[in-house]
Amino acid sequence: MIRGINLSIHQGDFKLSNLNFTIEAKEYVVLMGKTGCGKTTLLETICGLRKLSSGEIWINDKNVSNEVPAKREIGYVPQDAALFNTMTVKKNIGFALKIRKCNKQKIEERTNELAELMGIDHLLERRIDGLSGGEKQRVALARALSFYPQILCLDEPLSALDEDTKGDMIELLVKLKQNLDITVVHVTHSNFEASKLANKVLYFEAGTITHQKKFR
Amino acid sequence: MMGIVASTYIILIVAMMVADMSYTSPGHIFEALKSKEIQYAIKLSLITCTVTMILSVMVAVPLGYFMSRFEFPFKKVIDAILDIPIVLPPLVIGLSLLILFQTAPGRFIESHVRITYTVYSVVIAQFMVACAFAVRTMYVTFSQINNRQEQVALTLGCNQKQAFFNILLPQAKNGILTAASLAWARALGEFGPILIFSGATRMRTEVLPTTVFLEMTVGNIEAAVAVSLIMIFSGFAVLMVVRLFGDKKVIV
Protein backbone atom coordinates (compact mmCIF):
# COMPACT_ATOMS: atom_id res chain seq x y z
CA MET A 1 0.00 0.00 0.00
CA ILE A 2 1.18 3.53 -0.79
CA ARG A 3 -0.26 6.47 1.08
CA GLY A 4 0.37 10.14 0.43
CA ILE A 5 -0.58 12.41 3.31
CA ASN A 6 -0.79 16.17 2.72
CA LEU A 7 2.03 16.03 0.19
CA SER A 8 3.51 19.30 -0.97
CA ILE A 9 6.25 19.47 -3.57
CA HIS A 10 7.76 22.73 -4.78
CA GLN A 11 10.04 22.93 -7.72
CA GLY A 12 10.77 26.34 -9.19
CA ASP A 13 7.42 27.78 -10.23
CA PHE A 14 5.77 24.40 -10.12
CA LYS A 15 3.79 23.41 -7.06
CA LEU A 16 1.90 20.35 -5.89
CA SER A 17 0.14 20.95 -2.63
CA ASN A 18 -1.91 19.09 -0.06
CA LEU A 19 -2.11 15.92 -2.02
CA ASN A 20 -3.80 12.95 -0.37
CA PHE A 21 -4.17 9.52 -1.91
CA THR A 22 -4.17 5.85 -1.09
CA ILE A 23 -3.06 3.11 -3.44
CA GLU A 24 -3.94 -0.34 -2.18
CA ALA A 25 -1.52 -3.25 -2.37
CA LYS A 26 -1.65 -5.23 -5.66
CA GLU A 27 -3.69 -2.47 -7.25
CA TYR A 28 -2.96 -1.24 -10.79
CA VAL A 29 -3.46 2.48 -10.50
CA VAL A 30 -3.34 4.84 -13.45
CA LEU A 31 -2.51 8.50 -12.85
CA MET A 32 -4.14 10.61 -15.53
CA GLY A 33 -3.99 14.26 -16.40
CA LYS A 34 -2.73 16.75 -18.93
CA THR A 35 0.95 17.25 -19.67
CA GLY A 36 2.60 19.41 -17.02
CA CYS A 37 0.00 18.76 -14.32
CA GLY A 38 2.47 17.07 -11.99
CA LYS A 39 2.00 13.35 -12.62
CA THR A 40 5.66 12.65 -13.28
CA THR A 41 6.70 14.79 -10.31
CA LEU A 42 4.45 12.75 -8.03
CA LEU A 43 5.84 9.50 -9.42
CA GLU A 44 9.41 10.65 -8.90
CA THR A 45 8.53 11.74 -5.37
CA ILE A 46 7.13 8.30 -4.58
CA CYS A 47 10.39 6.80 -5.89
CA GLY A 48 12.39 9.17 -3.68
CA LEU A 49 13.97 11.16 -6.51
CA ARG A 50 12.38 14.44 -5.42
CA LYS A 51 12.27 16.00 -2.00
CA LEU A 52 9.00 16.69 -0.25
CA SER A 53 8.39 20.22 0.96
CA SER A 54 5.95 18.84 3.51
CA GLY A 55 3.73 15.84 4.10
CA GLU A 56 4.48 12.15 4.34
CA ILE A 57 4.69 9.14 2.09
CA TRP A 58 3.99 5.75 3.64
CA ILE A 59 4.74 2.45 2.01
CA ASN A 60 2.93 -0.34 3.83
CA ASP A 61 3.46 0.52 7.50
CA LYS A 62 6.58 2.57 7.08
CA ASN A 63 7.05 6.29 6.70
CA VAL A 64 9.56 6.55 3.83
CA SER A 65 9.40 10.33 3.42
CA ASN A 66 13.08 10.72 4.27
CA GLU A 67 14.34 7.44 2.87
CA VAL A 68 16.76 7.43 -0.06
CA PRO A 69 15.46 5.81 -3.28
CA ALA A 70 17.54 2.66 -2.75
CA LYS A 71 15.76 1.91 0.54
CA ARG A 72 12.27 2.20 -0.94
CA GLU A 73 12.55 -0.90 -3.17
CA ILE A 74 10.42 0.57 -5.95
CA GLY A 75 10.93 -0.49 -9.57
CA TYR A 76 10.97 2.60 -11.77
CA VAL A 77 10.60 2.86 -15.54
CA PRO A 78 11.08 6.45 -16.72
CA GLN A 79 9.51 7.74 -19.91
CA ASP A 80 12.75 7.64 -21.87
CA ALA A 81 13.62 4.20 -20.39
CA ALA A 82 17.04 5.64 -19.43
CA LEU A 83 18.80 2.35 -20.04
CA PHE A 84 22.47 2.19 -19.07
CA ASN A 85 24.01 2.78 -22.47
CA THR A 86 27.48 1.59 -21.53
CA MET A 87 26.16 -1.90 -20.75
CA THR A 88 24.57 -4.75 -22.68
CA VAL A 89 20.89 -5.61 -22.23
CA LYS A 90 21.91 -8.49 -19.96
CA LYS A 91 24.01 -6.26 -17.71
CA ASN A 92 21.16 -3.73 -17.53
CA ILE A 93 18.73 -6.37 -16.28
CA GLY A 94 21.22 -7.87 -13.84
CA PHE A 95 22.43 -4.53 -12.47
CA ALA A 96 20.21 -4.25 -9.39
CA LEU A 97 21.11 -7.78 -8.26
CA LYS A 98 24.80 -7.13 -8.87
CA ILE A 99 24.59 -4.06 -6.63
CA ARG A 100 22.94 -6.31 -4.05
CA LYS A 101 25.96 -8.61 -4.36
CA CYS A 102 23.91 -11.61 -5.51
CA ASN A 103 25.98 -14.45 -6.94
CA LYS A 104 26.47 -14.83 -10.67
CA GLN A 105 24.20 -17.85 -11.01
CA LYS A 106 21.30 -16.10 -9.30
CA ILE A 107 21.74 -13.02 -11.53
CA GLU A 108 21.91 -15.22 -14.63
CA GLU A 109 18.74 -17.11 -13.64
CA ARG A 110 16.76 -13.97 -12.88
CA THR A 111 17.95 -12.25 -16.06
CA ASN A 112 16.93 -15.21 -18.20
CA GLU A 113 13.58 -15.53 -16.43
CA LEU A 114 12.72 -11.87 -17.00
CA ALA A 115 14.05 -11.87 -20.57
CA GLU A 116 11.74 -14.75 -21.34
CA LEU A 117 8.78 -13.06 -19.67
CA MET A 118 9.39 -9.86 -21.65
CA GLY A 119 10.16 -11.68 -24.89
CA ILE A 120 13.64 -10.20 -25.19
CA ASP A 121 15.81 -13.30 -24.71
CA HIS A 122 17.28 -12.84 -28.20
CA LEU A 123 18.50 -9.34 -27.25
CA LEU A 124 20.51 -10.18 -24.13
CA GLU A 125 23.97 -9.70 -25.65
CA ARG A 126 22.98 -6.59 -27.59
CA ARG A 127 24.03 -3.07 -26.72
CA ILE A 128 21.40 -0.41 -26.03
CA ASP A 129 22.05 1.84 -29.04
CA GLY A 130 20.50 -0.46 -31.62
CA LEU A 131 17.27 -1.29 -29.76
CA SER A 132 13.85 -0.10 -30.93
CA GLY A 133 11.55 1.96 -28.68
CA GLY A 134 9.47 -1.08 -27.74
CA GLU A 135 12.53 -3.20 -27.01
CA LYS A 136 13.96 -0.46 -24.80
CA GLN A 137 10.78 -0.30 -22.75
CA ARG A 138 10.80 -4.07 -22.28
CA VAL A 139 14.41 -4.00 -21.10
CA ALA A 140 13.60 -1.11 -18.74
CA LEU A 141 10.66 -3.10 -17.35
CA ALA A 142 12.79 -6.19 -16.85
CA ARG A 143 15.45 -4.09 -15.12
CA ALA A 144 12.85 -2.50 -12.83
CA LEU A 145 11.41 -5.89 -11.86
CA SER A 146 14.76 -7.63 -11.39
CA PHE A 147 15.06 -7.12 -7.64
CA TYR A 148 11.53 -8.35 -6.84
CA PRO A 149 10.07 -4.94 -5.88
CA GLN A 150 6.60 -4.77 -4.37
CA ILE A 151 5.83 -1.57 -6.27
CA LEU A 152 6.39 -0.67 -9.89
CA CYS A 153 6.22 2.94 -11.14
CA LEU A 154 5.76 3.45 -14.87
CA ASP A 155 6.08 6.92 -16.38
CA GLU A 156 4.23 7.03 -19.71
CA PRO A 157 5.80 3.76 -20.80
CA LEU A 158 3.84 3.64 -24.05
CA SER A 159 3.84 7.25 -25.19
CA ALA A 160 6.81 7.00 -27.53
CA LEU A 161 5.71 3.76 -29.21
CA ASP A 162 3.91 3.20 -32.52
CA GLU A 163 0.41 1.69 -32.49
CA ASP A 164 1.40 -1.94 -33.06
CA THR A 165 4.15 -1.89 -30.46
CA LYS A 166 1.81 -0.15 -28.05
CA GLY A 167 -0.71 -2.98 -28.43
CA ASP A 168 2.01 -5.56 -27.70
CA MET A 169 3.16 -3.64 -24.65
CA ILE A 170 -0.37 -3.36 -23.27
CA GLU A 171 -0.71 -7.14 -23.65
CA LEU A 172 2.57 -7.55 -21.79
CA LEU A 173 1.47 -5.23 -18.97
CA VAL A 174 -1.83 -7.11 -18.64
CA LYS A 175 0.16 -10.33 -18.40
CA LEU A 176 2.41 -8.84 -15.70
CA LYS A 177 -0.61 -7.60 -13.80
CA GLN A 178 -2.10 -11.10 -13.80
CA ASN A 179 1.10 -12.99 -13.04
CA LEU A 180 2.93 -10.79 -10.57
CA ASP A 181 1.65 -9.81 -7.15
CA ILE A 182 2.72 -6.25 -7.45
CA THR A 183 1.35 -2.73 -6.99
CA VAL A 184 1.63 -0.67 -10.17
CA VAL A 185 1.46 3.11 -10.51
CA HIS A 186 1.20 3.99 -14.19
CA VAL A 187 1.28 7.58 -15.46
CA THR A 188 -0.41 8.31 -18.78
CA HIS A 189 -2.74 10.68 -20.56
CA SER A 190 -4.35 7.96 -22.63
CA ASN A 191 -7.90 6.90 -21.74
CA PHE A 192 -7.37 3.78 -23.80
CA GLU A 193 -4.42 2.63 -21.66
CA ALA A 194 -6.37 3.39 -18.50
CA SER A 195 -9.40 1.41 -19.63
CA LYS A 196 -7.24 -1.60 -20.58
CA LEU A 197 -5.07 -1.71 -17.48
CA ALA A 198 -6.36 0.18 -14.48
CA ASN A 199 -8.12 -1.05 -11.33
CA LYS A 200 -8.34 2.56 -10.32
CA VAL A 201 -7.74 5.88 -12.07
CA LEU A 202 -6.64 8.99 -10.24
CA TYR A 203 -7.38 12.16 -12.20
CA PHE A 204 -4.90 14.99 -11.82
CA GLU A 205 -5.49 18.61 -12.55
CA ALA A 206 -3.42 21.69 -11.71
CA GLY A 207 -1.46 19.95 -8.97
CA THR A 208 -4.32 18.19 -7.18
CA ILE A 209 -6.22 14.96 -7.55
CA THR A 210 -9.70 16.03 -8.63
CA HIS A 211 -11.48 12.68 -8.57
CA GLN A 212 -10.97 8.96 -8.90
CA LYS A 213 -12.69 6.18 -10.72
CA LYS A 214 -12.64 2.48 -9.93
CA PHE A 215 -12.60 -0.20 -12.59
CA ARG A 216 -13.10 -3.93 -12.06
CA MET B 1 36.00 35.02 -50.05
CA MET B 2 35.33 33.49 -46.67
CA GLY B 3 37.06 30.34 -47.83
CA ILE B 4 40.20 32.32 -48.65
CA VAL B 5 40.20 34.01 -45.24
CA ALA B 6 39.70 30.69 -43.45
CA SER B 7 42.26 28.81 -45.48
CA THR B 8 44.85 31.57 -45.00
CA TYR B 9 44.98 30.74 -41.30
CA ILE B 10 45.38 27.02 -41.91
CA ILE B 11 48.03 27.72 -44.54
CA LEU B 12 49.88 29.92 -42.03
CA ILE B 13 49.92 27.14 -39.42
CA VAL B 14 51.19 24.59 -41.92
CA ALA B 15 53.66 27.11 -43.38
CA MET B 16 55.18 27.67 -39.94
CA MET B 17 55.80 23.98 -39.53
CA VAL B 18 57.13 23.57 -43.07
CA ALA B 19 59.48 26.51 -42.46
CA ASP B 20 60.71 24.83 -39.26
CA MET B 21 61.31 21.62 -41.14
CA SER B 22 63.16 23.34 -43.97
CA TYR B 23 65.37 25.14 -41.45
CA THR B 24 66.57 21.90 -39.96
CA SER B 25 67.48 18.47 -41.26
CA PRO B 26 67.16 14.93 -39.93
CA GLY B 27 70.85 15.22 -39.12
CA HIS B 28 70.19 18.16 -36.81
CA ILE B 29 67.38 16.35 -35.11
CA PHE B 30 69.52 13.25 -34.52
CA GLU B 31 72.31 15.41 -33.23
CA ALA B 32 69.88 17.12 -30.87
CA LEU B 33 68.63 13.75 -29.73
CA LYS B 34 72.21 12.65 -28.97
CA SER B 35 72.85 15.54 -26.60
CA LYS B 36 72.74 14.50 -22.94
CA GLU B 37 71.00 17.71 -21.92
CA ILE B 38 68.28 17.32 -24.50
CA GLN B 39 67.82 13.66 -23.63
CA TYR B 40 67.34 14.75 -20.02
CA ALA B 41 64.86 17.43 -21.10
CA ILE B 42 62.85 14.91 -23.14
CA LYS B 43 62.82 12.49 -20.21
CA LEU B 44 61.84 15.20 -17.72
CA SER B 45 59.13 16.53 -20.04
CA LEU B 46 57.63 13.07 -20.51
CA ILE B 47 57.66 12.28 -16.80
CA THR B 48 56.36 15.65 -15.57
CA CYS B 49 53.65 15.83 -18.25
CA THR B 50 52.44 12.37 -17.34
CA VAL B 51 52.41 13.13 -13.61
CA THR B 52 50.61 16.43 -14.32
CA MET B 53 48.09 14.62 -16.49
CA ILE B 54 47.31 12.04 -13.78
CA LEU B 55 47.01 14.73 -11.07
CA SER B 56 44.82 16.89 -13.31
CA VAL B 57 42.39 14.07 -14.05
CA MET B 58 42.27 13.12 -10.37
CA VAL B 59 41.25 16.68 -9.51
CA ALA B 60 39.12 17.38 -12.58
CA VAL B 61 36.82 14.36 -12.27
CA PRO B 62 35.45 15.09 -8.77
CA LEU B 63 35.51 18.87 -9.31
CA GLY B 64 33.74 18.64 -12.67
CA TYR B 65 31.17 16.28 -11.15
CA PHE B 66 30.55 18.58 -8.21
CA MET B 67 30.17 21.65 -10.44
CA SER B 68 27.83 19.98 -12.90
CA ARG B 69 25.59 18.05 -10.52
CA PHE B 70 25.16 20.26 -7.46
CA GLU B 71 23.85 23.74 -6.81
CA PHE B 72 25.48 25.74 -4.04
CA PRO B 73 26.03 29.36 -3.02
CA PHE B 74 28.68 31.32 -4.93
CA LYS B 75 28.81 28.68 -7.67
CA LYS B 76 29.30 31.40 -10.32
CA VAL B 77 32.22 32.83 -8.36
CA ILE B 78 33.88 29.42 -8.07
CA ASP B 79 33.21 28.85 -11.77
CA ALA B 80 35.04 32.08 -12.56
CA ILE B 81 37.93 31.24 -10.20
CA LEU B 82 38.40 27.95 -12.04
CA ASP B 83 39.01 29.89 -15.25
CA ILE B 84 41.65 32.19 -13.78
CA PRO B 85 44.58 29.95 -14.78
CA ILE B 86 43.23 29.90 -18.35
CA VAL B 87 43.01 33.67 -18.74
CA LEU B 88 46.03 34.68 -16.65
CA PRO B 89 49.32 35.31 -18.50
CA PRO B 90 51.54 32.27 -17.80
CA LEU B 91 54.33 34.48 -16.44
CA VAL B 92 51.96 35.81 -13.80
CA ILE B 93 51.16 32.27 -12.69
CA GLY B 94 54.86 31.56 -12.30
CA LEU B 95 55.42 34.75 -10.36
CA SER B 96 52.40 34.11 -8.14
CA LEU B 97 53.64 30.60 -7.38
CA LEU B 98 57.07 31.95 -6.52
CA ILE B 99 55.51 34.48 -4.15
CA LEU B 100 53.19 31.84 -2.67
CA PHE B 101 56.21 29.79 -1.62
CA GLN B 102 57.73 32.85 0.03
CA THR B 103 54.79 33.17 2.42
CA ALA B 104 54.84 31.54 5.86
CA PRO B 105 52.96 28.35 4.86
CA GLY B 106 55.01 28.16 1.66
CA ARG B 107 58.27 28.49 3.59
CA PHE B 108 57.08 25.84 6.05
CA ILE B 109 56.60 23.41 3.18
CA GLU B 110 59.95 24.39 1.67
CA SER B 111 61.66 23.68 4.98
CA HIS B 112 60.52 20.07 4.69
CA VAL B 113 60.55 19.48 0.94
CA ARG B 114 62.39 21.81 -1.37
CA ILE B 115 59.94 22.88 -4.07
CA THR B 116 61.15 26.03 -5.80
CA TYR B 117 63.74 25.46 -8.56
CA THR B 118 63.30 21.69 -8.31
CA VAL B 119 61.51 19.09 -10.41
CA TYR B 120 58.49 19.35 -8.08
CA SER B 121 58.06 22.97 -9.05
CA VAL B 122 57.98 21.95 -12.71
CA VAL B 123 55.03 19.67 -12.01
CA ILE B 124 53.23 22.31 -9.91
CA ALA B 125 53.71 24.99 -12.57
CA GLN B 126 52.40 22.66 -15.29
CA PHE B 127 49.56 21.43 -13.09
CA MET B 128 48.27 24.93 -12.26
CA VAL B 129 47.52 25.60 -15.92
CA ALA B 130 46.82 22.12 -17.31
CA CYS B 131 44.36 21.23 -14.57
CA ALA B 132 42.13 24.20 -15.43
CA PHE B 133 41.66 22.78 -18.92
CA ALA B 134 40.96 19.31 -17.55
CA VAL B 135 38.40 20.70 -15.09
CA ARG B 136 36.65 22.68 -17.80
CA THR B 137 36.52 19.57 -20.00
CA MET B 138 35.11 17.36 -17.23
CA TYR B 139 32.59 20.04 -16.25
CA VAL B 140 31.28 20.15 -19.83
CA THR B 141 31.38 16.36 -20.11
CA PHE B 142 29.31 15.73 -16.97
CA SER B 143 26.91 18.59 -17.78
CA GLN B 144 26.14 17.00 -21.14
CA ILE B 145 25.28 13.66 -19.56
CA ASN B 146 21.64 13.59 -18.49
CA ASN B 147 21.28 12.42 -14.89
CA ARG B 148 18.34 10.10 -15.70
CA GLN B 149 20.47 6.99 -15.75
CA GLU B 150 21.94 7.85 -12.36
CA GLN B 151 18.45 8.42 -10.97
CA VAL B 152 17.28 5.04 -12.18
CA ALA B 153 20.40 3.50 -10.65
CA LEU B 154 19.44 5.05 -7.30
CA THR B 155 16.02 3.38 -7.46
CA LEU B 156 17.73 0.09 -8.33
CA GLY B 157 19.63 0.12 -5.05
CA CYS B 158 22.71 2.28 -5.66
CA ASN B 159 23.95 4.96 -3.31
CA GLN B 160 25.37 8.17 -4.86
CA LYS B 161 28.88 6.76 -4.91
CA GLN B 162 27.86 3.54 -6.66
CA ALA B 163 25.78 5.50 -9.19
CA PHE B 164 28.81 7.70 -9.89
CA PHE B 165 31.28 4.86 -10.40
CA ASN B 166 28.97 2.37 -12.12
CA ILE B 167 26.82 4.66 -14.25
CA LEU B 168 28.22 8.15 -14.72
CA LEU B 169 31.96 7.47 -14.96
CA PRO B 170 31.70 4.87 -17.76
CA GLN B 171 29.60 7.35 -19.76
CA ALA B 172 32.28 10.01 -19.27
CA LYS B 173 35.09 7.79 -20.63
CA ASN B 174 35.68 9.86 -23.77
CA GLY B 175 35.58 13.10 -21.79
CA ILE B 176 38.19 11.75 -19.39
CA LEU B 177 40.42 10.78 -22.31
CA THR B 178 40.02 14.26 -23.77
CA ALA B 179 40.76 15.91 -20.41
CA ALA B 180 43.85 13.76 -19.92
CA SER B 181 45.21 14.46 -23.41
CA LEU B 182 44.58 18.18 -23.13
CA ALA B 183 46.28 18.31 -19.75
CA TRP B 184 49.26 16.42 -21.16
CA ALA B 185 49.53 18.64 -24.23
CA ARG B 186 49.17 21.83 -22.17
CA ALA B 187 51.81 20.63 -19.72
CA LEU B 188 54.21 19.85 -22.57
CA GLY B 189 53.97 23.41 -23.91
CA GLU B 190 54.20 25.13 -20.53
CA PHE B 191 57.16 27.48 -20.33
CA GLY B 192 56.46 30.84 -18.65
CA PRO B 193 55.59 29.60 -15.17
CA ILE B 194 58.39 27.01 -15.27
CA LEU B 195 61.00 29.58 -16.24
CA ILE B 196 60.11 31.76 -13.25
CA PHE B 197 59.16 29.14 -10.67
CA SER B 198 61.64 26.40 -11.55
CA GLY B 199 64.42 28.26 -13.32
CA ALA B 200 66.17 27.00 -16.43
CA THR B 201 68.97 24.88 -15.03
CA ARG B 202 70.39 22.29 -17.40
CA MET B 203 70.12 18.68 -16.23
CA ARG B 204 67.82 19.77 -13.40
CA THR B 205 64.68 21.69 -14.32
CA GLU B 206 65.11 21.76 -18.06
CA VAL B 207 62.03 20.66 -19.97
CA LEU B 208 61.68 20.82 -23.75
CA PRO B 209 60.37 24.42 -23.98
CA THR B 210 63.27 25.43 -21.72
CA THR B 211 65.65 23.72 -24.13
CA VAL B 212 64.29 25.79 -27.03
CA PHE B 213 64.79 28.92 -24.95
CA LEU B 214 68.31 27.99 -23.81
CA GLU B 215 69.48 26.91 -27.27
CA MET B 216 68.15 30.13 -28.77
CA THR B 217 69.88 32.32 -26.21
CA VAL B 218 73.23 30.78 -27.14
CA GLY B 219 72.47 31.19 -30.83
CA ASN B 220 72.05 27.49 -31.59
CA ILE B 221 68.92 28.01 -33.69
CA GLU B 222 69.22 24.61 -35.44
CA ALA B 223 68.97 22.72 -32.15
CA ALA B 224 66.14 24.98 -30.99
CA VAL B 225 64.21 24.25 -34.18
CA ALA B 226 64.96 20.53 -33.93
CA VAL B 227 63.56 20.41 -30.39
CA SER B 228 60.59 22.52 -31.49
CA LEU B 229 59.82 19.95 -34.16
CA ILE B 230 59.95 17.14 -31.62
CA MET B 231 57.39 19.07 -29.57
CA ILE B 232 55.20 19.89 -32.57
CA PHE B 233 55.00 16.24 -33.56
CA SER B 234 54.32 14.89 -30.07
CA GLY B 235 51.68 17.59 -29.43
CA PHE B 236 50.08 16.86 -32.79
CA ALA B 237 50.08 13.13 -32.05
CA VAL B 238 48.24 13.70 -28.76
CA LEU B 239 45.66 15.97 -30.40
CA MET B 240 45.09 13.38 -33.11
CA VAL B 241 44.46 10.74 -30.44
CA VAL B 242 41.81 13.05 -28.93
CA ARG B 243 40.21 13.66 -32.32
CA LEU B 244 40.15 9.98 -33.20
CA PHE B 245 38.98 8.53 -29.88
CA GLY B 246 37.68 11.45 -27.86
CA ASP B 247 34.23 12.94 -27.65
CA LYS B 248 34.09 15.70 -30.26
CA LYS B 249 31.52 17.67 -28.31
CA VAL B 250 33.75 18.38 -25.35
CA ILE B 251 36.93 19.45 -27.10
CA VAL B 252 37.70 22.97 -25.89
Quote the pLDDT of residue A216. 57
Distance from CA of B191 to the nearest CA of A (A): 39
Whether residue B156 and residue A143 make contact (CB cut-off 8 A), yes or no, is yes
B228 in Cβ contact with B215 (< 8 Å): no
Q: Which of A80, A86, A95 sits opposite B171 (nearest CB)?
A: A86
Q: What is the mean pLDDT of residues B62-76?
A: 93
Quote the pLDDT of residue A120. 93
Total structural domains within chain B:
1
Assess if residue B221 is contained within a domain: yes
Distances in Å between the alpha carbon of B38 and those of A108, B42, B61, B184? 58, 6, 34, 19
pLDDT band at B240 (very low <50, low <70, confident <90, very high): confident
A186 in Cβ contact with A193 (< 8 Å): yes
| Cβ-based neighbours of A43, under 8 Å, separated by 6 or more | A31, A76, A153, A155, A185, A187
Q: What is the mean pLDDT of residues B196-205?
A: 91
Q: What is the mean pLDDT of residues B152-165?
A: 95
CATH architecture of A1-73+150-216: 3-Layer(aba) Sandwich (3.40)
Q: DSSP assignment, residue A210?
A: E
Other Cβ atoms less than 10 A from the Cβ of A96: the count is 27
Report how far residue B26's alpha carbon sits from residue A57's, in angstroms, rounded to the nearest whole number.
76
Does residue B42 carry a pLDDT above 50? yes
Does residue B27 carry a pLDDT above 90? no
Q: What is the mean pLDDT of residues B120-129?
A: 96
Give A84's contacts in chain B (Cβ within 8 Å): 149, 152-153, 167
Assess if residue B140 is contained within a domain: yes
| Cβ-based neighbours of A210, under 8 Å, separated by 6 or more | A203, A204
Quote the pLDDT of residue A144. 96
pLDDT in tens, B84-98: 999 999 999 999 999
Report how far residue B18's alpha carbon sits from residue B21's, in angstroms, rounded to the nearest whole number.
5
Assess if residue B20 is contained within a domain: no
A94 in Cβ contact with A107 (< 8 Å): yes
Does residue B252 carry a pLDDT above 50? no
Assess if residue B153 is contained within a domain: yes
Report how far residue B232's alpha carbon sits from residue A103's, in angstroms, rounded to the nearest whole number.
52
Whether residue A86 and residue B170 make contact (CB cut-off 8 A), yes or no, is yes
Does residue B246 carry a pLDDT above 70? no
Which residues of B make CB contacts under 8 Å with A?
Answer: 146, 148-149, 151-159, 162, 166-167, 170-171, 173
Domain boundaries, position B233: 29-250
pLDDT band at B251 (very low <50, low <70, confident <90, very high): very low
Report how far residue B252's alpha carbon sits from residue B246's, in angstroms, rounded to the nearest whole number.
12
Mean pLDDT of the residues in chain B: 91
Give the CATH number for residue B151: 1.10.3720.10
Q: What is the mean pLDDT of residues B112-136?
A: 94
Does residue B248 carry a pLDDT above 60? no
Assess if residue B116 is contained within a domain: yes
Query: Across chain A, how many H-helices and E-strands are there?
Result: 7, 10
Give pLDDT < 50 ranges for chain A.
none
Assess if residue B8 is contained within a domain: no
Quote the pLDDT of residue A213. 77
Quote the pLDDT of residue A104. 95
